[in-house]
Amino acid sequence: LFTMDPPPVSSSFHSDSDFCPECGSILPLPGTLDIVTCPRCGFSIDVREFEGKVVETSVEFHKLGTTAFLVSEEEGPEFQGPVIDRRCSNCGHEGMAYHTRQMRSADEGQTVFYTCTNCR
């Protein structure tokens, strides 16, 4: 007896259902179609694969004027990062400490924060 069932889907790697199992790209949210198609490689997956999946997100707000990543004022610029030759736009002093943070998604560049060694 021969059956006409399609062969099992073979993927390049094992991943969460939010990601394409062929190329690793983030899959779009299921819509009105019966399939979800990867925008990068065209791999298609049945929309029923997403049944019962719950995505939870949360946002934490801090008080205005506070940030979780700034160094306290008692600590010197050596704790804030390397010092470079850059003129402060506030006091005109030559010498700024800097540090970087990944503020957006991984495919975006880092944000560079400068702190004047004179006036902070």
Q: Which residues are annotated as a binding site for Zn(2+)?
A: 20, 23, 38, 41, 88, 91, 116, 119
Residue ranges for the binding site? 20, 23, 38, 41, 88, 91, 116, 119
Structure tokens, 78 = 């050596």
Under 8 Å between Cβ of 117 and 90: no
Strands annotated E in 1-120: 35-37, 44-46, 83-87, 94-101, 111-116
